[in-house]
Structure 1
Amino acid sequence: MPSDTVSRDAVLDAMKEYDQLSHQELAARFSTPRSRKYVVTHDAKEYDIRTLLSIVRSRQAAAHHIEHAGTADDHKDITLLRSLGFPIRVTRPDPSSVQFTETDCHLFKKYPQRVPWNAENVPPQDQSHFKEIWNKLKLVAAWLESSMRTDIPLQSNTSILQPNARTARDMWCCAFPATVSNKSYALQAALIISERGAEICICPGGGKSQITDTGKANSAAAQFHALQRKLTSVPLQVITAVEQGLPPEARFRRSWRMEAGSGEFTSLQDWLAYAARPEGAQASISVYLDPGELEEAGTYINDILLNTANAVAPLFEYCYLGEESPMHPVSLFDVDGLRALATEPQHRLKLNENVYRSVVSAIRSGKHVILTGPPGTAKTTLAELICQLAENAGLCEGHTLTTATADWTTYETIGGLRPRESGAGLEFRDGLFLKELRRKRWLVIDELNRSNFDRAFGQLFTVLSKQPVVLPYEDGKRRPIVLLPSGTKTVYPDRDYDVISIPESWRIIATMNVFDKSLLFDMSFALMRRFAFIEVPVPPRETYRELWANKISGASEEHRNAINAILDKLYGITKHKEIGPATFNDMARYALEYAGDDPLSGAESEELSFQLFYSYLLPQFEGISQPAGKSLFREMRSLVGSGNEDRLYRTLTAVLGLDLGPLSSLQAIDSSENEMEF
């Protein structure tokens, strides 16, 4: 019977029949298995929810002369009974005797490699020990499911005792929302026992599993995507409540099952921003206990788990019960946020403060951005970090990086007619820009100067001016395609047009080498005024030294000194053309590999100097003047040695096309200068 036909009076009448029957009589008369977990409390009595509603529905079925199906859904039944004013109590398992010991952890250490589960590889006493740990985790999981302080119906899961009939490297249990079909796609509270001790973690589940049914896999993936979308808009009051409730030992980590240590993130806001991204699917808020601490904790480990889970209950409820709050992003698009991202250990950008201020001001004032500067100044990295901050702030749903080419036309950027997959006729296919607009993703265009700007951007000029454009193409339903900036008053009904809405926050972030500034004159003024041009200058010399020193910090002192001396001298030739520190970081890594284990001889240092110049610096000197070319030769000759001067001469003349005159004349100049110095 439909649930809305169940009344409070019907439930009260069913309670009277329930009171008159023994458990055996109830089981014999009503085929639906008991819940054993949820009970209705009324007049100091308790009623199993499945059995109680089975009585109600059996009566209704008899009254309507239909057969009672006998199925049950605890969570729907709980919702129904609560709506009728009946309180629900969870009958909780008792883990009061459950504790984990150092011996439990040593068992996993005994089997670092997974071995077949048989008496030959795993003695019976170890098999029993594994099963004991597993049973304890099952009890903890059931207790956590019923004890966590949340209105969300939960379910629990425990790892497989013998995965693929082999020993396990660790065992875990978790509780997660009952509305999610698979724990790998849900926010969950988990306990992991391994040779390292215990890890209590709050995590999004990973977003991957071994589901083979395509429909179920797609449904689970959609649930995970919805979770990550909610993580981008957690209200500040929820963030504050969680941070205040978490134990001081909690660490914000990139993944579970990492070595215990300080977290990669300093705040819940930063962690949420990471967990909401594709690469953050395994992010974890973790509390660690080593084997000794775990044994010392005894049964208190269960309280630590429950207290941590209860601390994040507001986050669970927002993600699975709350309405999305796009006006409360996990971070702001501001100078502090951009600087914080740029200076994270994996980036270590050393940029002028004015760069951060200029970028944020341009984006927030409605401009698209072109970053200019010498090669190697981290323009592309900065462009992607700008987009990452925008995603964290709820301004976009990610970004796509592409490199411009001379072949670009509106066919590649906007779209055009292409053969149908069926082979029958042509159809319009979105180009790169339209694809990203539909997905609300920002676009990063590297080396914009490679393209013919006006030819590649086409109708996008008008859109960048916040004016609607009707493209000369139709979609599969023969509707004209319209690019419609937000706030446009012109109305294009969906029934007549394929409308691509362009959010006010949508941006293009492009990069351009400063050497190509002359190409700016090839850009129409119509395009130029739609972008803010922001220079990313080279930093001071000491910043170069600091950055490349970090790359070779693991080398011996002798090697560090040798590589530092070479890079310092190569830095000197950047007076002819500015080259950013990223190039020198690459050179430092190359030099470290080249050096090997033995000290560098003089000849090896000269050869390394030549290889670094040829592989990393030479292309940057294209277009250098003849006088500067001669100066470059003399400076490099002193670094690569007389034995390499012929190679150096041929390289500069053949690759850069410099007319340096006869090699003998350059040698004569050097000889004359040396005599004068003497």
Structure 2
Amino acid sequence: KTSIARFIAEMLGFEPVVVTANAHWSRVDVIGGPMLIGTGSVTWRPGVLLEAIARHVEAKKRGKRGAWLIIDEINRADVDKAFGEFFTIFSGPEPREWIIPLYIVDEWSKYSSMNRDDVYRDILEKVKTSLKKSDTGYYVPPDFRVIGTMNYVDVANLFAIGEAFTRRFVRIVIDYPGDIDKELKVLLNRIGRSSEFVDAIKVIDDDLLNVIKSITNELRKIRRLAFGPAYLLNALYTFLAHVRLKLTTGMPIESVKKEVRRILRYAIESSLSITPLWDDELRQEVKKVLDNVLGS
């Protein structure tokens, strides 16, 4: 999802500003707010939204179309705690309704004026001098965008995303790729660009590719599991790292090929065990798939 969002931004001429949300996010992280710095003084640090808007302005001056903010795993943040003023800024669907309230910029200016060593002053000046001003605030550039990504499969285990928040976005559901052969080709080509896997990748022949495809297709039938390209890529990296380790210790490649199913099982299990939904029930479902395809 994040790769697609980044690709779209770049193809349209916008620089992607990618951040990952987390449960500790607050107003300071998204909008901005006062914070202590190393010298013991207080400064006003802009959050990811205002910083991205400033990056948008700066990118335009460099000949780019601007910058877009991409918030990965957006539902890992507590929306009520972190995005309160996001609702105010993006109050409606039309760009003419997107306004940074004056009180936010005034608050920022107040703290900046009290700290002569304010490292964020240049960002403040970009906002104040480059954005169109109204009686109530500063207009967000109409071609600026915020993209949020999330997994539907683990939505019950993370913070709730209310309708008031989601209606400020266009919702696009991204399903698994429809062509597993093309997907694997793209992922393996990506891995193959790394010189460290030149020898290890040779163990993946047509038979092993078919095994990987069968496992992938079956895992994607498990409702509680999101085995997308990112997880598949991670499993392939883990698999090839273990193959490479055996080759570097002197094991002949033909001997390694005899162990590829065991190594593949370990790679998939270790990659999936870090998902927040991993429990005994899900482990058993994954084990059943691996037993059926690889043998118990």
Moved more, 453-462 or 632-641: 632-641
Task: Check whether the contact 1:464–1:530 (CA below 8 A) recurs between aligned residues.
Answer: yes
Q: What is the DSSP-based 3-state SS (H/G/I as helix, E as strand, rest coil) of the residue aligned with 2:205? A: helix
Q: What is the DSSP-based 3-state SS (H/G/I as helix, E as strand, rest coil) of the residue aligned with 1:532? A: coil
For residues 602 and 456 of structure 1, do their structure 2 counterparts lie closer, same or farther at Cα, with a shift above 3 Å needed? Answer: same
Letter matched to residue 401 of structure 1: V
Q: Residue 103 of structure 2 corresponds to which residue in structure 1?
A: 471
2:55 corresponds, among 439, 453, 457, to 439
1:598 corresponds, among 253, 272, 276, to 253
For residues 457 and 519 of structure 1, do their structure 2 counterparts lie closer, same or farther at Cα, with a shift above 3 Å needed? Answer: farther
Matched, 1:455 2:100: no
Within a 5 Å distance, the mapping from 1:317-332 to structure 2 comes to none
Q: What is the DSSP-based 3-state SS (H/G/I as helix, E as strand, rest coil) of the residue aligned with 2:71? A: strand
Task: Check whether the contact 1:587–1:616 (CA below 8 A) recurs between aligned residues.
Answer: yes
Aligned mates of 1:534, 1:604 — CA distance in 2? 41
Matched, 1:416 2:33: yes
> What is the CA-CA distance between 1:567 and the residue it aligns to?
1.3
Task: Check whether the contact 2:102–2:138 (CA below 8 A) recurs between aligned residues.
Answer: no
Q: Residue 573 of structure 1 corresponds to which residue in structure 2?
A: 219
Task: Check whether the contact 1:551–1:588 (CA below 8 A) recurs between aligned residues.
Answer: no
> What is the CA-CA distance between 1:512 and the residue it aligns to?
0.5
Matched, 1:402 2:19: yes
For residues 530 and 439 of structure 1, do their structure 2 counterparts lie closer, same or farther at Cα, with a shift above 3 Å needed? Answer: same
Letter matched to residue 561 of structure 1: D
> What is the CA-CA distance between 1:380 and the residue it aligns to?
0.8
Q: Residue 264 of structure 2 corresponds to which residue in structure 1?
A: 609
> What is the CA-CA distance between 1:603 and the residue it aligns to?
5.9
Q: Residue 6 of structure 1 corresponds to which residue in structure 2?
A: none
Q: Residue 151 of structure 2 corresponds to which residue in structure 1?
A: 513
Aligned mates of 2:272, 2:232 — CA distance in 1? 9
> What is the CA-CA distance between 1:428 and the residue it aligns to?
2.5
> What is the CA-CA distance between 1:563 and the residue it aligns to?
3.2
For residues 574 and 415 of structure 1, do their structure 2 counterparts lie closer, same or farther at Cα, with a shift above 3 Å needed? Answer: same
Matched, 1:547 2:186: yes
Aligned mates of 2:271, 2:38 — CA distance in 1? 44
Letter matched to residue 171 of structure 2: F
> What is the CA-CA distance between 1:557 and the residue it aligns to?
6.8
CA shift digits 1:92-146 (9 cap, x unpaired)? xxxxxxxxxxxxxxxxxxxxxxxxxxxxxxxxxxxxxxxxxxxxxxxxxxxxxxx
Aligned mates of 1:567, 1:513 — CA distance in 2? 23
Q: What is the DSSP-based 3-state SS (H/G/I as helix, E as strand, rest coil) of the residue aligned with 2:3? A: helix
2:173 corresponds, among 523, 530, 535, to 535
Aligned mates of 1:534, 1:431 — CA distance in 2? 26
Within a 5 Å distance, the mapping from 1:23-102 to structure 2 comes to none
Aligned mates of 2:274, 2:22 — CA distance in 1? 19
Instruction: Identify unmatched segments of 5+ residues in structure 2.
Output: 57-66, 92-97, 115-123, 193-197
> What is the CA-CA distance between 1:636 and the residue it aligns to?
2.2
For residues 603 and 453 of structure 1, do their structure 2 counterparts lie closer, same or farther at Cα, with a shift above 3 Å needed? Answer: same
More helix by share: 2
Aligned mates of 2:191, 2:55 — CA distance in 1? 41
1:634 corresponds, among 263, 288, 295, to 288
> What is the CA-CA distance between 1:631 and the residue it aligns to?
4.7
Greater C-alpha Rg: 1
Q: What is the DSSP-based 3-state SS (H/G/I as helix, E as strand, rest coil) of the residue aligned with 2:143? A: coil
Task: Check whether the contact 1:404–1:451 (CA below 8 A) recurs between aligned residues.
Answer: yes
For residues 620 and 460 of structure 1, do their structure 2 counterparts lie closer, same or farther at Cα, with a shift above 3 Å needed? Answer: closer
Task: Check whether the contact 2:272–2:278 (CA below 8 A) recurs between aligned residues.
Answer: no
- Structure 1 vs Structure 2 CA RMSD: 3.7
Aligned mates of 1:383, 1:599 — CA distance in 2? 41
Instruction: Identify unmatched segments of 5+ residues in structure 1.
Output: 1-378, 493-498, 643-678
Aligned mates of 2:167, 2:45 — CA distance in 1? 29
Aligned mates of 2:228, 2:40 — CA distance in 1? 50
Aligned mates of 1:437, 1:510 — CA distance in 2? 16
> What is the CA-CA distance between 1:382 and the residue it aligns to?
1.3
Task: Check whether the contact 1:563–1:588 (CA below 8 A) recurs between aligned residues.
Answer: no
Aligned mates of 2:277, 2:38 — CA distance in 1? 45
Q: Residue 383 of structure 1 corresponds to which residue in structure 2?
A: 5
For residues 625 and 444 of structure 1, do their structure 2 counterparts lie closer, same or farther at Cα, with a shift above 3 Å needed? Answer: same
Q: Percent identity?
A: 23
Within a 5 Å distance, the mapping from 1:257-406 to structure 2 comes to 379-390=1-12, 392=13, 398-406=15-23
Aligned length: 248
Higher relative contact order (CA 8 A, sep 6+): 2
TM-score by length of 1: 0.32
Letter matched to residue 439 of structure 1: R
> What is the CA-CA distance between 1:558 and the residue it aligns to?
6.1
Letter matched to residue 437 of structure 1: I
Task: Check whether the contact 2:71–2:147 (CA below 8 A) recurs between aligned residues.
Answer: yes
Q: Residue 281 of structure 1 corresponds to which residue in structure 2?
A: none
Aligned mates of 1:557, 1:420 — CA distance in 2? 52
Q: What is the DSSP-based 3-state SS (H/G/I as helix, E as strand, rest coil) of the residue aligned with 1:609? A: helix
> What is the CA-CA distance between 1:456 and the residue it aligns to?
0.7
> What is the CA-CA distance between 1:633 and the residue it aligns to?
2.9
Letter matched to residue 35 of structure 2: R
Aligned mates of 2:54, 2:156 — CA distance in 1? 34
For residues 562 and 601 of structure 1, do their structure 2 counterparts lie closer, same or farther at Cα, with a shift above 3 Å needed? Answer: farther
Matched, 1:526 2:171: no
CA shift digits 1:396-438 (9 cap, x unpaired)? 5x332111010101022222223466546x3433222222222
Aligned mates of 2:37, 2:159 — CA distance in 1? 40
